[in-house]
Amino acid sequence: MPETAISSSRPRVLSGMRPTGKLHLGNYMGALANWVKLQDQYECYFFIADWHALTTDYADPSRLKLNTLDVALDWLAAGLDPERSTIFIQSHVPQHAELHLLFSMITPLGWLERVPSYKEQQENITGKDLSTYGFLGYPLLQAADILIYQADYVPVGQDQVAHVELTREVARRFNSMYKSQMLDGRPIFGEPDALLTPSPKLPGTDGRKMSKSYGNTIGLTEDPKSAAKKIEGMSTNGQRPRHTDIGDPDQCPVGDLHKVFSSAEVIAETQSACRTASIGCLECKTMAAKSVSDLLSPIHERRKTLREEDAWEILCSGAENAAKVAEQTLLLAKEAAGLAPPGRIMGQFPQDAIPIRQNMYAEGSITLDFRNLWLAKPELRDIPLKEAARETFATEERFLEEPLLTANKKRVLVAAPDSLANDLNFEIPAKSYEVWVLLRLNSRDGLISDFILPQKVFSQPFAKAKKSLKKDERIPATIREDGGRFLLSIHGSEPIDITELQSNYDPLK
């Protein structure tokens, strides 16, 4: 994969599952069992795809919330660990939808119409109106799901490989169209690879593929006794009507169950006994039921210990963590696409927020939010958001004395005056900084002007001022407005026009 703007220490995996109710053995063997194993090797993101559920079930969402909770509880019972994976609900991270909207602007309609599952599901799902954009565009939403986290791999079955390929095409098209806007010439999106999940043949109780729509499932967290009773009543495809008849376990749904859940010894025993009629079908089914019970029993017991409120807490925490990663990708994508930044670097916060100072705005305490500043100003894009970019400062002294550090260790000074006068006076620590961020609040309209000054702008007058002052003495600086221009003077130096280096924001919108 090409180098991307966001990287992680371990390869990142992302996958999701639609909340259609409690999971069954087909869901477990087709995806979930593999996810549990992936947690030890990859940085994993697993989401409950409630938006995707609406693409086919939009007309009756009455059970969507309940189904979402059931899926979460089943995941946890099966072994997904919130300490090792990020587990969340898709709609709780709105960045998925925003990136999907951005992708919809550039994706040719024909790309979506040619996805194999589009026509297949239209033909196979009856009784539902699927002539909607949501249904047509769900592979594009999948692409957004994957790319918003810069996933390296997507665990899928063979029938979903086409969706991963569409994701790669969307990433290539976006990178190609907006190459000139990318960070240091690097592509915004890498191209994820499909991580093929073995999908064993798993029959339902009637011999057909296990599916909720057929009503032939064995629940993942079902009571093992109930599961055994279902297996004892399973179809054998009409084989061995008499006990003395020989059979072919390769043509029998019970034989398929053995191949998935039984040990090699039990498989060999039942294969031989079926072909020689040395055991009856009921005995063979009982052995299969025991193999299934050995898997289900611990999952069933764990499910009984899980509380709904704990599951919701895990999902909420997972969404918060996922949103932090998703937001970084979305900001880069929006900037590359030429969208204007949100337009403010300050905002009104709750009373328990730590204010920089109380008198900066008469209507409430103000604290600094670096997320939009980071987006709007390329000089600051490398500031690690998790560490410094959203930090608040309790006092002016700390605000001035503890600089932000960019990813390449450049020091960034942030300073704001207490005065609301037109001529704003700063005191700058006599230390070396590569970038200055000077904030000016206009008393007339409440707009904040932020000035992002690279070192080349202030280096000469700053160095001259340091020589004329005592060691560690603060260096005075002034921003003066003159006919719409903004002029910076450092310790009485000749004014420097910094008008082109500022942007205006409304702090209370």
Which pLDDT score is estimated for 404? 63
Upper half-sphere CA count for residue 306 (Cβ side, 13 Å): 26
pLDDT digits (tens, 9 = 90+) for 228-237: 999 999 988 8
Confidence of residue 314 (pLDDT cuts 50, 70, 90): very high
How many whole angstroms separate alpha carbon 150 and alpha carbon 504?
32
Domains of the chain: 12-199+304-331 (3.40.50.620), 212-297 (1.10.240.10), 341-505 (no CATH)
How many whole angstroms separate alpha carbon 270 and alpha carbon 279?
8
Q: Do 19 and 140 meet the contact criterion of CB atoms below 8 Å apart?
A: no
Stretch among 101-105, 150-154, 175-179, 227-231 having the lowest mean pLDDT: 175-179
Which residue is listed with tokens 């001259």?
Answer: 464
Which pLDDT score is estimated for 481? 82
- The secondary structure element, H or E, covering residue 155 is strand 153-156
Nearest to 303 by CA among 22, 39, 94: 22
Which pLDDT score is estimated for 389? 30
How many whole angstroms separate alpha carbon 432 and alpha carbon 435?
9
Nearest to 374 by CA among 4, 3, 5, 2: 5
Judge whether residue 86 has pLDDT over 70: yes
Which pLDDT score is estimated for 448? 61
How many whole angstroms separate alpha carbon 201 and alpha carbon 29?
9
Which pLDDT score is estimated for 341? 61
pTM of the model: 0.68
* Residue with the larger pLDDT of the pair 427 and 385: 427
Confidence of residue 99 (pLDDT cuts 50, 70, 90): very high
**Residue environment code for 410-432, b if the CB has 16+ CB neighbours within 10 A, otherwise e:** bebbbbbbeeeeeebebebbeee
Q: Do 434 and 411 meet the contact criterion of CB atoms below 8 Å apart?
A: yes
How many whole angstroms separate alpha carbon 227 and alpha carbon 338?
56
Stretch among 34-43, 84-93, 178-187 having the lowest mean pLDDT: 178-187
Q: Do 329 and 100 meet the contact criterion of CB atoms below 8 Å apart?
A: no
pLDDT digits (tens, 9 = 90+) for 108-139: 999 999 988 887 777 777 778 888 999 999 99
Which residues partner with 368 through β-bridges? Answer: 346
Which residues partner with 476 through β-bridges? Answer: 427
Which pLDDT score is estimated for 40? 92
pLDDT digits (tens, 9 = 90+) for 391-424: 333 333 334 445 566 545 667 777 766 555 567 7
Judge whether residue 5 has pLDDT over 70: no
Nearest to 299 by CA among 406, 223, 197: 223
Determine the average pLDDT of the residues in 164-184. Answer: 84
Which pLDDT score is estimated for 400? 41
Confidence of residue 442 (pLDDT cuts 50, 70, 90): low
Which pLDDT score is estimated for 157? 86
Nearest to 288 by CA among 266, 320, 308, 305: 266
* Share of residues in the chain with pLDDT > 90 (%): 50
Q: How big is the CA angle at 175 (ends 171 and 178), to the nearest 5 degrees?
A: 135
Which pLDDT score is estimated for 391? 37
Show the tokens assigned to 412.
């960034």
The average confidence (pLDDT) of the chain is: 81
Show the tokens assigned to 208.
């057909």
* Residue with the larger pLDDT of the pair 347 and 449: 449
Q: Do 278 and 245 meet the contact criterion of CB atoms below 8 Å apart?
A: no
- CB burial class (10 A; 0-12, 13-18, 19+) of residue 232? middle
Determine the average pLDDT of the residues in 28-54. Answer: 96
